[in-house]
Amino acid sequence: MNTEELEYLKYPIGKFRMPEQITVQLLADYISTLAVFPGRLRREVSFLNETQLDTRYRPEGWTIRQVVHHCADSHYTSFTRFKLALTEDKPTIKPYAEERWAELPDSLLLPVEPSLSILDGLHERWVFLLNELTSAQLQRCFIHPEHGIEISLQTSIGEYAWHCNHHLSQIMVLKERYNWD
């Protein structure tokens, strides 16, 4: 497999690019993506068998099982960051080693249903919260120490909408490659 093919498998929808301006409509689209993500993910993985769930979406990448558990880990971490940014003045968030979390037994061995259930409830709360935020609250920021930058909540909403579609696409490309219906 050549470099271009590997890059496509890693980023089937491309890398995240924040638009210069986040309009009200774009923000609504991002929030809509977050709202439907748990159901879309469930539809993509619910009929896969154990062997399929343990198939890597690309060479040296995670298995579908790890991707599902990663989404739960990542999204509840993000939700916590949102709460911190809404209740503290520019908090410095704690990064986590997602690649190491994906190697823990719960990510490697546990059925995907617990993480799908986490995503169902989490996204219901997250979307409710996002829809209640004022323009000023959407501008609130947290500081990411690894990047040394302030990240606004509206930017993070865009990143997580991309994150949803990014991992869904990885799974969908794998299923298409193997003709898994």
In this predicted structure, what is the pLDDT of residue 57?
96
- The alpha carbon dihedral of 97, 102, 107, 112 has a sign of positive
pLDDT digits over 1-57, tens only?
Answer: 899 999 999 999 999 998 889 999 999 999 999 999 999 999 999 999 999 999 999
In this predicted structure, what is the pLDDT of residue 54?
98
Q: Does residue 11 fall inside a structural domain?
A: no
Structural domain including 52 reads 22-56+70-177
Domain count within the chain: 1
Q: Does residue 74 fall inside a structural domain?
A: yes
Q: Does residue 13 fall inside a structural domain?
A: no
Q: Does residue 142 fall inside a structural domain?
A: yes
Please give the biggest Cα pair distance in the chain: 49
Q: Does residue 36 fall inside a structural domain?
A: yes
Q: What are phi and psi of 40, to 5 degrees?
A: -65, -45
Half-sphere exposure at residue 51, Cβ-oriented, CA atoms within 13 angstroms: 2
Q: Does residue 75 fall inside a structural domain?
A: yes
Q: Does residue 158 fall inside a structural domain?
A: yes
CATH code of the domain in which 40 resides:
1.20.120.450
In this predicted structure, what is the pLDDT of residue 9?
94
**What is the DSSP secondary-structure string of 17-70?**
---S---HHHHHHHHHHHHHHHHHHHHHHTT--HHHHTSBSSTTS-BHHHHHHH
Distance in angstroms (rounded) separating the CA atoms of residues 168 and 32: 15
pLDDT digits over 104-160, tens only?
Answer: 999 999 999 999 999 999 999 999 999 999 999 999 999 999 988 999 999 999 999
